[in-house]
Structure 1
Amino acid sequence: MASIIKRGKSYRAQVSLYKRGEHKKLSKTFPTKREAELWALEMELAKGEGKELAYRTTTFADFFENWIYLVKVNDVKETTFQNYVRTLGVIRNLFQDIQLKDLNDIVVQKKIDKYAKTHSRKTTHEILLKIKTALRDAYARGYIANDFARLVKTRGENPPKRNKALSITDFKKLRNYVLQRPEDEFNLLVLLALETGMRRGELLAIRPESLYEYGIEVRHSISPTSDDTSLKTQNAKRDVSINKEVYELIRKMPVKENGYIFGFGGFKQSEQLADLLTELNIKKTTFHGLRDTHASFLFAQDIDIAYVSKRLGHINIQTTQNYYLELMPEKKHQQDADALSLLSSL
């Protein structure tokens, strides 16, 4: 049975539990005796329904760790599982020793809002989705009393886009520079990114057998956080054509001991690219921005969007429209001029 103990001006309710052959107690303090009695009654009723109250004293961080290693590890791909592992570090930092019994939508909302202050809305949303999934599992198992996950919202703002497409002028400048200096392996990696729109991991996964005349079979991707080289989606599996000059440069590259054409270089390609762009006085972008540049350049040349979408390995054309086909400055200016010319002719 539950017990209510007066402690100064507050009341402490205590419920006996039985967990794995051991007797434990679950307690909570309230400002009034009535509140303590209501909570104790709720806990006793929950015990009668067979809910796992003993687990409510487990910290959320410990629950999340057990959950991902016992449940999620068998449900998701290796790369996705590693994302859950990285999320565990975030949860330990945010929630620390907060127990399952002390969680509610307000507590979780405050924690996710704190995280949002130093991270993008997109990153925050991805973290929150994993937290919500874990909370729903905890509720289904009776470890938390209420299904409050749906009440927690993603807040904050997205920072300015870092992987912006280069202008046509800078695109040509960068392409000519790396094309004229093929002795530097990194230059060839940049050249292929501009030439194909392939992701960095897809470029690093190129082997001699990936090449055909004149193109590259995209079948694998290298990740710095996982040994899984499979592609994210079936649509990412594709053949990407390249011109003869670039094909000959890549074909002549010596193969590394691990069988790949490009060295992984500690996955420092972003830093190397930043240094190269600074040297050439080109506005900064990310390595993924070279993929955006490729797509935007093709779009600026009026290449059919269906072809661009397939070349990039997107799931559908809508993805291409939403995220990649931002007009290059020169193309936008031309479109403005054409629009004004049409209006003037009315």
Structure 2
Amino acid sequence: MQKEETLADYFYQWMETFKKPALAPVTYVKYQNTYRQIKYYFNDESIHSISRLSYQQALNKFAKTHAKRTTAGFHKQIRAAILDAVEEGLISTDFTRKAIITGRKNKKKQKFLSYTEWQKLITYTSNNCTSSLNLIIYLSAVTGMRYAEVLGLTVADIDFKNKTVTINKTWDYKYHTGFKRTKNKSSIRTIDLDRQTLKLLRKLLVTRKFKKEVQQICVDSKGSLPVSATINRYLENLCQELEIPIISFHGLRHTHASILLFKGVNLISVSKRLGHKDVTTTQSVYFHVIKEMEERETDLILSILDEAIK
């Protein structure tokens, strides 16, 4: 007796036949991701045995750990394949019809942490850097690097003699196409590192026995790098554990810049450290901090004048 075709099998043949020849590789990766998710959420269920009820149950299960937008994209790709299956006469009904799209509600996140909250986070992550997730969070928090920039760091980018790290590439964590160019030319930059971070990185390279200059330093013990959903989920849980406000990964970059500005580092230096195209970009993004600093400076000016006039 011939084994019935599963939903996963049909979807794979469908995307290979109709999508792969017509789409750019980076777009086709999205269909490959959907195929892997179908295998997980539908197992070996036959395409003929899936009902509207069982499809909705699987979709609801998917939605529990994914945002509504992601769930909608997952459903959209499956539905496109199923409509073709109905048209071909392979199945008689469209079980994706009238599906209800839900998704995981994102908890409200702050844009940046205070100095003491940031200190709490970097203390914990620096002390637990054997975990690649902690290392990635720590590096962004103390340098202001973007997620793709941190993942793209290799052994060759760390200069222990000059105490710097160079950002000259990024890693494509979305479509897994490997190394990519930086966001723009100004994103190519060299950042000064503090003694603690240099010490941590030196110990890491020795412990992990990285020999190749092109080796990415943020890989886990299996040589893999996390996707953005994984790191954001981990960061959210870590913030709760440390009893500090929940922020997104990009919030680490905002925190780094805000703290430097509020501690008196000049705008040009912060702008260069972040890799902004110009100071205007930094001014617009961190207007709230600059405004608060101006108010503080006004108080300082008046106190100086009051003291002098006595």
Q: What's the TM-score bracket when you normalise by the shorter of the two chains?
A: 0.5 to 0.7
C-alpha contact 1:65 1:88 (8 A) present in aligned 2: no
List gaps (5 residues or longer) in structure 1: 1-56, 339-346
| Alignment partner, residue 304 of structure 2 | none
Is it true that 1:249 corresponds to 2:198 in the alignment? yes
| Alignment partner, residue 39 of structure 2 | 89
Alignment map for 1:49-88 (pairs within 5 Å) = 58-74=5-21, 75=23, 76-77=25-26, 79-80=29-30, 82-88=32-38
C-alpha contact 1:112 1:124 (8 A) present in aligned 2: yes
Is it true that 1:160 corresponds to 2:121 in the alignment? no
| Alignment partner, residue 251 of structure 2 | 292
- What's the offset of the Cα at 1:150? 7.8
Is it true that 1:193 corresponds to 2:140 in the alignment? yes
| Alignment partner, residue 74 of structure 2 | 127
Counting matched residue pairs gives 254
List gaps (5 residues or longer) in structure 2: 297-310
Q: What's the RMSD between the two structures over aligned residues?
A: 5.5
Which AA in structure 2 matches 1:262? I
- What's the offset of the Cα at 1:274? 9.1
C-alpha contact 2:41 2:58 (8 A) present in aligned 1: no
> Structure 2: how far apart are the matches of 1:239 and 1:228?
20
Change (3 A) 1:176 1:141: same
Change (3 A) 1:285 1:115: same
- What's the offset of the Cα at 1:124? 2.1
Which AA in structure 2 matches 1:97? S
Structure with higher Rg: it is 1
SS for the counterpart of 2:166 is strand
Change (3 A) 1:312 1:278: farther
- What's the offset of the Cα at 1:229? 1.3
Which AA in structure 1 matches 2:102? R
> Structure 1: how far apart are the matches of 2:78 and 2:219?
33
C-alpha contact 1:109 1:153 (8 A) present in aligned 2: yes
Change (3 A) 1:242 1:260: same
Bigger drift between 74-83 and 250-259 goes to 250-259
SS for the counterpart of 1:154 is coil
| Alignment partner, residue 303 of structure 2 | none
Deviations 1:281-303 (A, max 9, x none): 453868xx443222245357597
**Greater strand share, 1 or 2?**
1
SS for the counterpart of 1:221 is strand
Change (3 A) 1:126 1:247: farther
Alignment map for 1:198-217 (pairs within 5 Å) = 198-199=146-147, 202-210=149-157, 216-217=166-167
Q: Tell me the TM-score normalised to structure 1 length.
A: 0.49
Identity %: 19
Which AA in structure 2 matches 1:83? N
- What's the offset of the Cα at 1:64? 0.8
Structure number with the bigger relative contact order (C-alpha 8 A, sep ≥ 6) is 2
Change (3 A) 1:69 1:189: same
Change (3 A) 1:157 1:268: closer
> Structure 2: how far apart are the matches of 1:134 and 1:144?
11
Change (3 A) 1:311 1:149: farther
